[in-house]
């Protein structure tokens, strides 16, 4: 229990500092609204837990220790963020029709699944998540108790649950602010462009920062 509480406290400290996943959720919420934001949060959670599984199976150690692998994963995530940002900016003038369809409950299921997949990709290539799960998570397992992969899988649920709550709050807050902009075609187009630029800037930041060793 003491290890669990200590890990929960550290997870909370790390998660409350907005990282790529949080900023991505906010950008998607501003560009596309609450439905897309919530689907993105779900995808992020799944992607983050895939990192936990990778660490539990030993793959995370390779990624964390190999500069080449880490940089490759980081750049892939950054490129995808920039791609999504460009797409959001290109389609910013179509946002009014999208908002009306969403309000009428006519969103396509395929679109939701694609959004979840986008969130998974961003979550699993999040440099902050890779470092945290690969370098911090193993320190809180009880080696004398055995079953290390199982312990990591269980401990990994702690930051996942915390992230689910905080990311949902971020997404709902950003989408609520977007509602005001939706009353005007021009304002909605502006916020869609801002959301796109935010994701592009986030991609550039992810690519330009991080480990240099």
- Give pLDDT tens digits for 40-84: 999 999 999 999 998 888 765 565 566 676 677 667 767 776 777
- Give pLDDT tens digits for 106-116: 444 447 888 89
What is the 3 state secondary structure string of the chain?
A: CHHHHHHHHHHHHHHCCCCHHHHHHHHHHHHHCHHHHHHHHHHHHHHHHHHHHHHHCCHHHHHHHCHHHHHHHHHHHHHHHHHHHHHHHHCHHHHHHHHHHHHCCCCCHHHHHHHHHHHHHHHHCCHHHHHHHHHHHHHHCCHHHCCHHHHHHHHCHHHHHHHHHHHHHHHHHHHHHHHHHCCCHHHHHHHHHHHHHHHHHHHHHHHHCCCCC
At 122, the pLDDT band (50, 70, 90 cuts) reads confident
Mean pLDDT of 9-20: 75
The mean predicted confidence, pLDDT, of the chain is 75
Mean pLDDT of 26-40: 84
Minimum mean pLDDT among 132-146, 148-162, 184-198: which range? 184-198
């Amino acid at each position: 229990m003491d290890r669990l509480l200590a890990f929960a406290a550290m997870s909370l400290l790390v998660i409350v500092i907005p990282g790529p996943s949080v900023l991505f959720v906010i950008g998607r919420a501003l560009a596309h609204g609450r439905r897309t934001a919530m689907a993105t949060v779900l995808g992020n959670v799944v992607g983050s837990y895939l990192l936990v599984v990778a660490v539990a199976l030993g793959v995370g150690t390779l990624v964390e220790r190999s500069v080449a692998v880490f940089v490759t994963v980081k750049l892939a995530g950054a490129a995808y963020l920039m791609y999504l940002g460009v797409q959001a900016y290109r389609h910013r003038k179509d946002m009014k029709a999208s908002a009306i369809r969403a309000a009428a409950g006519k969103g396509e299921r395929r679109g939701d699944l694609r959004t979840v997949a986008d969130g998974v990709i961003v979550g699993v290539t999040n440099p902050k998540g890779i470092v945290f799960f690969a370098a911090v998570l193993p320190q809180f397992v009880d080696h004398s108790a055995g079953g290390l992969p199982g312990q990591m899988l269980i401990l990994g649920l702690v930051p996942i649950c915390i992230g689910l709550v905080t990311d949902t709050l971020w997404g709902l807050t950003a989408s609520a602010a977007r509602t005001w902009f939706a009353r005007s075609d021009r304002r909605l187009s502006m916020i869609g462009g801002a959301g796109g630029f935010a994701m592009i800037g986030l991609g550039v930041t992810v690519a330009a920062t991080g480990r240099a060793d």
